[in-house]
Amino acid sequence: MSDERQTRTVRLWDPLLRMFHWLLAFFVIAGWLLGKFGPNQMTLHFWCGYVVAGLLIFRLVWGFIGPRHARFSHFLRGPTHVAGYARHMFLREPSYWPGHNPLGALSVIAMLAALAAQVTTGLISDPEDYINVGPLASAVGSDIATEAVDWHEFGANLVLILVVLHVAIILFYRFWKREDLVTPMITGQKEVREDAGN
């Protein structure tokens, strides 16, 4: 196939970005499970949230000063690019996109925004049980701190939906488009179009 002759393997994801990705996945899943099924005292759940908060701060900084492919300016695209990519998304062939494709970029931003909101609501939540009070709950009014509990629960469901969609898209690319998106996030190397810049 001509696509195979027009591709090359490049170093795409840097080690810190790959470490961020897998640590975020672990602590988000662990925090979600502890929140849903963990002990009544949410100490471990809180610590998962603190780690996620630190990882999100790292990703925000890395999105501006990290290597080219990690920068937001490299993968965020306007509506024209998103629509153009979406028109060809269901073709049964690999995209060989050099980094996050325009739709994938939107999912990255959605996930980061949802997790940032989730961390924020966790920090200010007060379930009025005198045990699992967020460390910043006293900085907001008691009404907001109490409502934040419901927002945090809603956010947990939203994060679950986004994670399921993320996995579903990975499987779609693997089995429909015949493109492996997992291995590059382990090795850092990905097959891209020959005309794509580094």
Tokens at 124, concatenated: 């200010």
Distance between CA 15 and CA 156 in Å, rounded? Answer: 28
- Range 145-156 average pLDDT: 96
Q: What are phi and psi of 7, to 5 degrees?
A: -125, 165
Residue percentage of the chain with pLDDT more than 90 = 85
Q: Quick check: is 54 in a domain? A: yes
Tens-digit pLDDT profile for residues 51-87: 999 999 999 999 999 999 999 999 999 999 999 999 9
Quote the number of domains for the chain. 1
Distance between CA 198 and CA 63 in Å, rounded? Answer: 17
Q: Quick check: is 112 in a domain? A: yes
Residue 3: band (very low, low, confident or very high) from pLDDT cuts 50, 70, 90: very low
Paired with 86 in beta bridges are none
If DSSP codes are grouped into helix, strand and coil, which group holds residue 193? strand
CATH number of the domain enclosing 46: 1.20.950.20
| The predicted structure's pLDDT at residue 129 | 87
The whole domain housing 46 covers 2-193
Q: Quick check: is 51 in a domain? A: yes
Tens-digit pLDDT profile for residues 127-144: 988 889 999 999 999 999
Q: Quick check: is 198 in a domain? A: no
Total number of residues shown for the chain: 198
Count CA atoms within 13 Å of residue 74 on its CB side: 20
Residue percentage of the chain with pLDDT more than 70 = 96
Write out the H or E segment, with its range, that includes residue 121: helix 102-124
Identity at 20, one-letter amino acid code: F
Tens-digit pLDDT profile for residues 83-100: 999 999 999 999 999 889
Q: Quick check: is 90 in a domain? A: yes
Write out the H or E segment, with its range, that includes residue 10: strand 7-11
Q: Are 142 and 126 in contact (CB under 8 A)?
A: yes
Tokens at 65, concatenated: 């000063």
Distance between CA 102 and CA 181 in Å, rounded? Answer: 15
